[in-house]
Chain A
């Protein structure tokens, strides 16, 4: 008989830890070794006797039966019914005790089992480290983050000052199915904060990267999303530019917009003019502010310049085309999809090219009497960078603002001497990190929307709780224009 006993201290109240551990079917949301779990025969997860059937990330199947569950002792015991891993007569206990000194939690996880001769050490290590200690760290990162997080803490419902809401939480990195709906309580705003009842939330491709783990902006379980519009509930001390009842919008870090109510830093939140509705604001803030600083700050586009825009029918691309045309530039759109040529013309491109047999640089030179483009807006990255450099006019400016096709890699600066090129790599955060920057950028954006210089095209609307469907459509490239989520 092999015995394993591991224990740790989690820096969170026992109720927060028990909240995570009590769900016998919840381990696939936090344990890194568990990929998918379900309870057999449609029993409830807290029904003693039930069997959880789950697969490990290595593909092995395990079935475990809940033997005891005690909310009084904060403990449960379970046994392995069948397993692809050679653990026999395995009975384990998970037990929590309160550490009253500083309101923490002592967690012990122990078991005894048998295993075929020769495997003792390997199995003991697998259980102790691969299962128990790995589980400790996973739960620690969840509950310690959650307890610290002001904005999305799941706190006592008895606090009447909390505002109820619903948030879509990314439980772990993965596909659109990892979203789960959670009730949240937004705390009253502290000094410098605002609490917002949100109506519409913008969905951006960066949200997909956050959810999948490609960008480590999000640490599960966490709420994604960068932009939303709604109404101010209340403001904290020192907030003078906003007041209760006012319509507002924002597009900024930190993430956390996929929620119906949110308490956040007020500095990045702007009031909305009556002429701009919530849907337009939620669908257009992030892309519109991006287009604003690309055309007015990174490069001041002037009448007479020729600009090249990749993905001219896309979210930012279509705004760039419309706005640059208004500024007097000659706009060339470059799209890989013949289906999107018309949309590019509709967005305001004077010329649309679809690089194929004739390369992009040659087509651009044909359209510009051999000169090339004065400014190129390229968010394609890896697949386009070389041809963008080749398509530049002398003293041209290549603005690389994304890398949808992958990292660009190392480039020899010396080669840019061939046309005295300027290259910029702007980052949204550096154009939106102060209240003044946000205010001037959004003022210009709202003005452009009000004067119909640009039109934000919100084509797809989903209920907040169907955020996963919105992501599916975005990833399948089924969408054109903006996608938003609506709260009830």
Chain B
């Protein structure tokens, strides 16, 4: 099963970074590739099980379900329900850890999924760099 792991250091206290990314509907406010987002049905954006439907700036449409949210571990886990990427059983984890030295944040974003083996390395690159690292770069710039 292909896996992606990306991590970075963000120069801000963990509570501030968590405050930005905790909202499952907030991708357009901080992630550079996301154009707009809404929560389906009448659910709140921190309700475990809610679904976010969002479109990318390149026109792609994606639906993702929130599987777990932890304010204690600064962590959220979600799965892809629908996307143009050609992945199945995609589950991703975004997790923050405080760095006591300098009161900074260690951010990790990882995913496991299934796909056409011929596409695996391109997908790993696209997800790891195009989605996860570009998100971290935006957060690094923001703080």
Hey, which bits of chain A sit against chain B, CB under 8 A? 5-9, 97-101, 104, 106, 108, 133, 136
Take A9-B104, A9-B106, A106-B106 as given contacts and tell me if A100 and B98 are in contact as well, using a CB distance cutoff of 8 Å. Answer: no
Q: For the complex, give the distance between the alpha carbons of A6 and B6 in Å.
A: 22
Q: For the complex, give the distance between the alpha carbons of A133 and B99 in Å.
A: 12
Q: Which of A6, A97, A133, A136 contacts B108 (CB under 8 A)?
A: A97
A136 contact set on B, CB distance < 8 A: 101
Residue ID in chain A nearest B136 by CB atoms: A101
Residue ID in chain A nearest B104 by CB atoms: A9
B108 contact set on A, CB distance < 8 A: 97
**Assuming A99-B106, A104-B9, A106-B97, what are 13 further A-B pairs, CB within 8 angstroms?**
A7-B97, A7-B100, A7-B106, A8-B102, A9-B9, A9-B99, A9-B101, A98-B5, A99-B8, A100-B128, A101-B7, A106-B9, A133-B101
Q: Sort A-B residue pairs by CB-CB distance and give the 7 closest, nearest first.
A: A101-B8, A8-B101, A106-B106, A7-B99, A6-B100, A99-B7, A100-B7
The binding surface of chain B is classed by DSSP as strand
Q: Mark B112-143, 1 if CB is under 8 A from A, else 0.
A: 00000000000000001000010010000000
Q: Verify B7–A106 contact, CB threshold 8 A.
A: yes
A5 contact set on B, CB distance < 8 A: 100
The 14 sampled A-B contact pairs (Cβ below 8 Å) are: A7-B99, A8-B99, A8-B100, A9-B9, A97-B7, A97-B97, A99-B9, A99-B106, A100-B6, A101-B6, A101-B7, A106-B9, A106-B97, A106-B99
B98 contact set on A, CB distance < 8 A: 7
B99 contact set on A, CB distance < 8 A: 7-9, 106
Residue ID in chain B nearest A4 by CB atoms: B100
Q: For the complex, give the distance between the alpha carbons of A133 and B133 in Å.
A: 29
| Shortest distance between the CB of A203 and any CB in chain B (Å) | 40
B133 contact set on A, CB distance < 8 A: 100-101
Residue ID in chain B nearest A137 by CB atoms: B101
Hey, which bits of chain B sit against chain A, CB under 8 A? 5-9, 97-102, 104, 106, 108, 128, 133, 136
Take A7-B106, A9-B106, A106-B106 as given contacts and tell me if A101 and B9 are in contact as well, using a CB distance cutoff of 8 Å. Answer: yes
B97 contact set on A, CB distance < 8 A: 7, 97, 106, 108
| Shortest distance between the CB of B123 and any CB in chain A (Å) | 16
B101 contact set on A, CB distance < 8 A: 6-9, 133, 136
A7 contact set on B, CB distance < 8 A: 97-101, 106
B102 contact set on A, CB distance < 8 A: 8
Q: For the complex, give the distance between the alpha carbons of A39 and B64 in Å.
A: 52
Q: For the complex, give the distance between the alpha carbons of A59 and B38 in Å.
A: 63
Most buried by B among A5, A6, A100, A106: A100
Q: For the complex, give the distance between the alpha carbons of A101 and B134 in Å.
A: 11
Q: For the complex, give the distance between the alpha carbons of A99 and B9 in Å.
A: 7
Q: For the complex, give the distance between the alpha carbons of A92 and B32 in Å.
A: 40
| Shortest distance between the CB of A39 and any CB in chain B (Å) | 30
| Shortest distance between the CB of B137 and any CB in chain A (Å) | 8
Take A9-B106, A106-B106 as given contacts and tell me if A100 and B100 are in contact as well, using a CB distance cutoff of 8 Å. Answer: no
A104 contact set on B, CB distance < 8 A: 9
Q: For the complex, give the distance between the alpha carbons of A108 and B136 in Å.
A: 21
| Shortest distance between the CB of A410 and any CB in chain B (Å) | 43
Residue ID in chain B nearest A132 by CB atoms: B100
Residue ID in chain A nearest B8 by CB atoms: A101
Q: For the complex, give the distance between the alpha carbons of A5 and B14 in Å.
A: 14
Residue ID in chain A nearest B10 by CB atoms: A101
| Shortest distance between the CB of A94 and any CB in chain B (Å) | 14
Q: For the complex, give the distance between the alpha carbons of A167 and B106 in Å.
A: 37
Take A6-B100, A7-B97, A8-B101 as given contacts and tell me if A97 and B106 are in contact as well, using a CB distance cutoff of 8 Å. Answer: yes
| Shortest distance between the CB of A129 and any CB in chain B (Å) | 11
Residue ID in chain A nearest B5 by CB atoms: A100
| Shortest distance between the CB of A143 and any CB in chain B (Å) | 15
B8 contact set on A, CB distance < 8 A: 99-101
